[in-house]
Structure 1
Amino acid sequence: MPNFETFTKRMAPLVKQPFVTIQKRGTISLNAAAHALLGKPEAVELLYDREESVVGFRPVPRESEHAYPLRAQNNKSVGPYIVSGTAFVKYYNIDTTVSRRWVASLVGDVLCVDLKHGGTVVTSNRSATPGSGQSDEAV
């Protein structure tokens, strides 16, 4: 008789690569690895280098004047972590016609995403039609 064990989501290893996704509506999400790389802050400053087209996230106290609180999606403590970035992407005219995911890197104390490197288009599993094979989450 087989000796089955139940697989739970908690058994799956966390993605070690830090990713940042800018979604169609301007919401920005950081995966758990990106959040951990920043030191698991409660809030970040949103930064932009116009010449280099690089978005940056710097950890700041929640009370800071320019703080954007990070909230765990669906109240999970393992991420992804969401930032309300709609005004930010509109102000800097960052393309949000499709949701895109970038690999992020830490430069000093700033988590950086280079928008010149197109990113990977992601689709929500909610928008996929059954049987379409599209199951990437936009996070």
Structure 2
Amino acid sequence: MPNFETFTKRMVPLVKQPFITIQKRGTMSLNAAAYTALGEPEAVELLYDPAERIMGFRAVAKESEHAYPLRAQAGKSIGPYIVSGTAFTKYYGIDTTVSRRWVGYLDEGVLCVDLKQSGTEVTSNRSGSRASGGDDDDV
């Protein structure tokens, strides 16, 4: 008889690139790689360089005055991790008419997103559609 093993989602390697998605209405999600790159914090500060149009996430203690808590998406244990950024995106005039995803990069401990890049438009995979070509870390 064959020696079967049960395939589980945890056997699939995680995406190694940090992806950040700004969803409609300003909620932001970080994939597991982005969360890990930040050191798996409980909270982040939201940063913005208006001249360069670079958004940043910096890990902070959840008790910090400007902390935004990170929470795992309901029902998922390995991300994506959600940040409520509606006020932030409205204040800085960041377009949230469609959901977009960017590859992030670390710069001196800050996970950066260059908003001068157009990003990739993403659609929800909740209907079971894979039209976005994304992975399970997309929201």
Matched residue SS, 2:35 = helix
User: Any residues of structure 2 matched to 1:93-112 within 5 Å, and which?
Assistant: 93-112=93-112
Task: Give unmatched runs, 5+ long, in structure 2.
Answer: none
User: How many angstroms does 1:66 deviate by?
Assistant: 0.3
Match in the other structure for 1:38: 38
Match in the other structure for 2:65: 65
Higher mean displacement: 33-42 or 69-78: 69-78
Match in the other structure for 1:12: 12
User: How many angstroms does 1:97 deviate by?
Assistant: 1.0
Match in the other structure for 2:83: 83
Distance 2:4 2:29 in 1: 36
Residue identity opposite 2:44 in structure 1: V
Distance 1:81 1:33 in 2: 10
The alignment status of 1:134 with 2:136, answered yes or no, reads: no
Matched residue SS, 1:90 = helix
User: How many angstroms does 1:2 deviate by?
Assistant: 6.2
Indicate the RMSD between aligned Cα atoms, in angstroms: 1.8
User: Any residues of structure 2 matched to 1:45-60 within 5 Å, and which?
Assistant: 45-60=45-60
Distance 1:126 1:78, change over 3 A: closer
Distance 1:43 1:69 in 2: 4
Distance 1:42 1:36, change over 3 A: same
User: How many angstroms does 1:92 deviate by?
Assistant: 0.5
Matched residue SS, 1:25 = helix
Residue identity opposite 1:109 in structure 2: G
The Cα offsets for residues 46-93 of structure 1, whole Å up to 9 and x where unpaired, read as 001000010000111000000000001115331110000011101111
Distance 2:125 2:17 in 1: 21
Distance 2:119 2:93 in 1: 16
